[in-house]
Structure 1
């Protein structure tokens, strides 16, 4: 875990809440051309954590819904509870506080939409809320990154950063962790389609080349810089010209059935750009306005249905809030 400077956080046990419900959003990592450094949050789907203070010290998973039995109930192996335990140890109150957690998965596992990130962020935001918010979001970030390491063996922040901070985020560096929020143009929408095929994150990452041609790297740098400039200027044409991936997509697209046809359909429907969400298999059409996102996802789903591939679709603006406390 990235080291966090030890600070004294006084916890008033008389002010700790007895329960809290938190929702944290799904995310689109990479934002097509920004592998491992860019990502944005969506309004839906996401994951929900119900957290309760109990008398018996320790952290326990009470129940998990919506995972088809795939996630561990062992508190040391589940990313939500493990990260909550890490936070309590950091605060020095792990032996004084009892926590029970119910996790509700509203999003598919292995979708490329940051499923583990949403759960981790929801859990950490919930425990921080329960304790009266002793840590800032920036201080919570290293604990979220550790959750990704537990989940997939690679402690990256391109999902957890937008899930926690909301909006569009840039990971400038990891030593130290440096997360920057970028502007969100008002009409920017995402049309997401999740073809229900299996593309494991670890396998998708193994396909990535360790060395790339300098000319391709220069092209990618230009695209990333152009995208960020387009976001600051709300220049949708510049955003469209910039959101092209010459490094990762050509290889990962092989794992996603009908990818190139889906891309053609999205662009013909008016999408600014189209690419893979995270490691896939979810794909995303970036559009100006909701109508184009709806049209692109509808047509893609129709094509997948004709190919006898089941799919889910989500249309969303960029979620600038990130996690939120839900009413009881």
Structure 2
């Protein structure tokens, strides 16, 4: 086992936002984007234990109590697992992305913290070893320790969660020209509540349709076939229910598809929506049109355009 000795006294880390589910891949598919994201500053202190000295960009919504914050809780689990609970840490969390956006806000914070402590301790082991600790943060944030946000935030790129028991994740290839247009409407769709409205029982014909679409999407990613990716991104299980929580969801999809999107869907549990495009310019035009439509129905919004982020977290 590595010594896990302190190699740095302070580090600043950026961790990216993510799009989970990717329409048909509920709880098993996700990818990272270049923006938005969160920043974590972590310092070694003389007093054992973890403190959170500052949180910005959260409008006072996140706890400074280290036993109740996803960043510190996941870091604490990591330190206990390597026998270094004696280390003293001070954490600053700077939220550079909206909370409750469906873009993996808690995941970005959690991954930022884990990557920071990994860096401070000179831990050169495979980042996959951090995934169970990141899932602990997700469990605290939304009551369910799923990996479709934290895995792509941690590894970068496009990720498939093949199994949860045992945990098995696969990083998928993707066409380099694929761009993502994201719009976050200023409405509230809490993740816990969004999960509660999902059906517990489904018809076999719907399950077969969903399996076919997931297989088609993964095949399209491997083949670099953007048209196949677009044809496969249809959800008959979750989107019909969750779309009711997002104002004018189907109108926004119509606008995006008519403007050149190859697919359109909900990011995570919403309310953010996203479209895949074949180039950056089309993605930017789509975000502009969607924001204009939302303004017309008196809803503010934020927009982001990005290729798929293959880097994951980084020291800045």
Q: TM-score range by the shorter chain?
A: over 0.9
**Aligned runs of 1:35-50 on 2, under 5 Å?**
35-50=26-41
CA contact (8 A) 1:111 1:194 kept: yes
* 1:242 partnered with 2:232: yes
Q: In structure 2, what is the equivalent of residue 3 of structure 1?
A: none
Map Cα deviations across residues 128-174 of structure 1 (whole Å, 9 max, x no partner).
Answer: 00000253211111101111001111000000000001000000001
1:314 is aligned to 2:289: no
Which one of 63, 69, 73 corresponds to residue 78 of structure 1? Answer: 69
Deviation at 1:295, TM superposition (A): 1.2
Quote the offset at 1:175 in angstroms.
1.2
What is aligned with 2:163?
A: 173
Name the residue aligned to 2:53: 62
Q: CA deviation at 1:307?
A: 0.6
CA distance in 1, matches of 2:185, 2:230: 24
Asked if the contact 1:9/1:91 (under 8 Å) is kept, the reply is no
2:161, 2:65 → 1: CA distance?
31
Aligned pairs for 1:220-231 within 5 A: 220-231=210-221
8 Å CA contact 1:11, 1:134 repeated in 2: no
Q: Which runs of 5+ in 1 are unaligned?
A: 1-7
Structure 2 residues without counterparts, runs of 5 or longer: none
Give distance in 1, aligned partners of 2:12 and 2:268: 27
Aligned to 1:152: 142
Q: If the length of structure 2 is used for normalisation, what is the TM-score?
A: 0.99
Higher mean alpha-carbon deviation, 71-80 vs 129-138, is at: 129-138
Q: C-alpha root-mean-square deviation of aligned residues, in Å?
A: 0.8
Tell me how far apart the structure 2 counterparts of residues 137 and 323 of structure 1 sit (CA, whole Å). Answer: 10
Q: What is the alpha-carbon distance in structure 1 between the residues aligned to residue 88 and residue 125 of structure 2? A: 19
Is the counterpart of residue 33 in structure 1 residue 21 in structure 2?
Answer: no
- TM superposition score normalised by structure 1: 0.95
Q: Which runs of 4+ in 1 moved over 6 A?
A: none
Q: Which residue of 2 aligns with 1:109?
A: 99
Say whether residues 1:292 and 2:282 are aligned partners. yes
Distance 2:219 2:110 in 1: 31
